Amino acid sequence: MPSNAVAAERMAALADRLRQIALRSGRQDLADRVAEARAALDDAEVQIVVVGQFKQGKSTLVNTLVSAPVCPVDDVIATSVPTVVRWGEQTSAALITELAGESQPIRAEIDPRRLREHVTEMSSDTGIFGNLHAEVTLPSPLLAEGLVFMDTPGVGRAQARVSTNLTLLPQADAALVVTDATQELTDPELAFLRQSAALCSRVTCIVSKIDLHHQWRSIVQADVEHLSAADIDVPVMVTSALLHEYALMDGDPTLREESRIDALTGYLRDVVKVEVIHERQGAVAREIDAVCELIAMSMQAEIGVLDDPSSSPEIVRDLKQAEETAENLTRRSARWQQTLSDGIGDLISDIEFDLRDRLREVGREAEQLIAASDPGKSWEDIGAWLADSVTQAVSDNFVWAHERSVHLAEVVAQHFSLDGRAAIPTLSLDGTDQALRAIGDLEFVQAGKLSLGQKVMIGLRGSYSGILMFGLMTTLAGLALVNPISLAAGLIVGGFAYRQDALQRLDQRRNEAKTAVRKLIDEAIFQVGKESRDRMNRIRRVLRDHFVTTAEEVKRSLAESIRVAQQGAALPPTQRDERAAQAAAELQEIRTLQARAREFLLLPAPIPQEQHAS
Ligand SMILES: Nc1nc2c(ncn2[C@@H]2O[C@H](COP(=O)(O)OP(=O)(O)OP(=O)(O)O)[C@@H](O)[C@H]2O)c(=O)[nH]1
Ligand SMILES: [Mg+2]
């Protein structure tokens, strides 16, 4: 089985040859398409997000993997801004702010040693409302391999942050969900793992800090059982950043082995990266296959006419019919376009209904909690519970919306190819299988060709971008008024009158708390609902553009077929045979290229020399 590098070289050679053929056939559009696909072969970056609950050792893990103390680590102060760490000859750091409605993000270079001041809770609020993330470059060996890590704020502390973290998952190539060995996986962690696995196809659960617990093996065993009971199928690996650090200081190979960091590094490099690159090459192979098919179509028409000029009117008539079918595909009345419009409409209302349903339920439970306690005393607990529950509801809604959008894209693709049957021979509709792979709010900038999934990702950036948190926090801040009303009054007034008054005041506090909860729920429904509507409308645009472009490409290919068929029929008989032989040779070459691309699609990813996953 060829390694990724060998496969990339072969694929590049196929693409270059195909590009020449496309140019020779006068198809600049197809030549450009091939060139774009080929550029993806040079993209060696593999994006890995590191996520998990608060203080599980995410930043420490990133630092250990990249062998440098880039991400701030602290017992108390939490990471608050996602940080992307990628290879660079020089160490550098920058803060990137994406403002809503602005196409260009604002980039500010900062001193890498002062990153802590910008990406932790220590940072002062800039007052800017937008997506903020940091980018660091480092000359680290693992990063030189193309791995890019993203350290993220912990889930479960800073209220609705989880929804921001979830949006990072669909566009990442892989995710490491970190949980430490001090306790077994909790329910919120399991819920988060389940959501992660639904949004990202390569999730690994990392049990960190195994040095802290003699019994870490039984914790890991329990974690594996929890995962299997919850039907979450992700590999589990263990690490200790601390043991790794000691091993480096003492030059102790046994300790180093025990830290299991090298095993993780090897797994990321030899399994995860290899699979991701193989998948990317597969996308290029599908592009080559599709372009070969389009070019072969005109060649076949020409050969048919050259072989039997009397069949020319018939062939041209068929081609014209197919051209009309392709033309119809670009019209708004085409069935796939209807499927898309109706599907998006239904999705918008279903998602909103689901969101309303989930959030109203949270509101009802909160009101029960309020009715059963004195909000003056329990408000902080209720607030924390509320933030968690709203977050959970919004996250579940997000995951569900994501899955439904992917399904819709598949149905639209099916209808498109059914509608186009007469026009589209055996064209593979690349990208639609993994369409909508990403709904995210941070763009991992990638070189080369944008797949449909990536286009969607960029189109959708900005969704759920912490707006919920903003809304939530301001509403919660407004709840200060629920705090116990001055006790001073109670101190002077005594006895029965005071107790009566106290009851009344308790009622009043409860009412105020309930009103505040309702306001918060309404706010969340409004904000999240608006974002998901916008997101769906962007999905609609991206899908429509994708398929209309495909239909137009087919139309151009058919027009070209008609042209060469007519030209072939007009050739004097003496030249006809010569041209027929030439066209047959060209077709043969195209079919050989196509067969090679298809062969690649049947190959599994190259197996690493050594399996590192435990
Ligand atoms: N013993 C031990 N402690 C660790 C290990 N990894 C991290 N820690 C400690 O755990 C604490 C939290 O580590 P961080 O890396 O800041 O955790 P985090 O997940 O990034 O935290 P937030 O970003 O704030 O959510 C720090 O005190 C680390 O020193 C480990 O492998 N062993
Ligand atoms: Mg951190």
Query: Is the pLDDT at 499 greater than 80, yes or no?
Result: no
Residue nearest to atom 2 of ligand 1 (CA): 209
CA of 208 to the centre of ligand 1 (A): 9
CATH value at residue 63: 3.40.50.300
| Boundary (domain end) residue, out of 209, 228, 259 | 259
Task: Tell whether ligand 1 has an atom less than 6 A from the beta carbon of residue 208.
Answer: yes
Atom of ligand 1 nearest to the CA of 212: 1
| Beta-sheet strand order (sheet of 174-180) | 106-110, 92-99, 130-138, 83-87, 147-151, 46-52, 174-180, 203-208, 236-238
Q: Which atom of ligand 1 is nearest to the CA of 72?
A: 16
CA of 64 to the centre of ligand 2 (A): 13
pLDDT above 80 (res 208): yes
Question: Which of 40-49, 175-184, 221-230, 511-520 has the lowest average pLDDT?
Answer: 511-520
For residues 358 and 390, is the Cβ–Cβ distance under 8 A? no
Judge if the beta carbon of residue 53 lies within 6 A of ligand 1: no
Does ligand 1 have an atom closer than 6 angstroms to the CB of 79? yes
- Whether residue 613 lies inside any domain: the answer is no
Residue 270 maps to a domain: no
Supply the pLDDT for residue 325: 84
Phi–psi pair at 504, nearest 5 degrees: -60, -40
User: Does the residue 302 lie in any domain?
Assistant: yes
Boundary residue ending a domain (198, 226, 259) = 259
Higher-confidence residue of 380 and 347: namely: 347
Q: Are residues 365 and 240 in the same domain?
A: no
The two three-digit tokens of residue 530, written as one number: 């608006």
Residues around ion ligand 2, judged by CB within 5 A, are 58-59, 79
Residues 403 and 514 in one domain: yes
Residues 392 and 519 in one domain: yes
User: Are 216 and 88 in a shared domain?
Assistant: yes
Which one-letter amino acid corresponds to residue 449?
K
CA 327 to ligand 2 center in whole angstroms: 54
Residue 209 CB less than 6 A away from ligand 1: yes
Q: What is the pLDDT of residues 525-569, one digit of tens each?
A: 887 788 778 878 878 887 888 888 888 888 888 888 888 888 888
Give domain status of residue 605, yes or no.
Answer: no
Indicate whether 401 and 378 sit together in one domain: yes
pLDDT in tens, 101-144: 666 778 889 998 888 888 887 775 554 455 678 899 999 999 99
The enclosing H or E element of 342 equals helix 335-371
Q: Which amino acid is at 357?
A: D
201, 229, 259 — which closes off a domain? 259
**Ligand 1 site, residue 446, Cβ cutoff 6 A:** no
pLDDT of residue 530: 80
Report d(CA 462, CA 161) in Å as an integer: 14
> Residue 421's pLDDT is what?
67
Judgement on whether residues 390 and 501 belong to the same structural domain of the protein: yes
User: Within this chain, do residues 292 and 375 fall inside the same structural domain, yes or no?
Assistant: yes
Give the distance (Å) from ligand 1 centre to CA of residue 403: 33
Q: Is the CB of 430 under 6 A from ligand 1?
A: no
| Co-location of 55 and 37 in the same domain | no
**pLDDT band, very low/low/confident/very high, at 231 (cuts 50, 70, 90):** very high
SS3 category, 417: helix
Domain-located, residue 453: yes
Domain membership flag for residue 293: yes
Domain range for 229 is: 44-259
Rounded Cα–Cα distance for residues 444 and 439 (Å): 12
Smallest CA-to-CA distance from 355 within 477, 536, 227 is with: 536
How many Å lie between the centroid of ligand 2 and the Cα of residue 205? 17
> Judging by beta carbons within 10 Å of its beta carbon (0-12, 13-18, 19+), is residue 10 exposed, middle or buried?
middle
- The pLDDT, as a whole number, for residue 424 is 55
Q: How many helices (H) and strands (E) does the chain have?
A: 20, 9
Residue 135 and residue 107: Cα distance in Å, rounded?
10
Ligand closest to 60 (CA) is 1
211 lines ligand 1 (CB under 6 A): yes
Tell me whether residue 265 is in a domain: no
Structural domain total, the chain? 2
Q: Residue 512 — pLDDT band, cuts 50, 70, 90?
A: confident
User: How long a stretch of residues is the chain?
Assistant: 614
Residue 609 lies in a domain: no
Stated pTM of the model: 0.81
- Residues with Cβ < 8 Å from 525, sequence gap 6 or more? 355, 356, 359
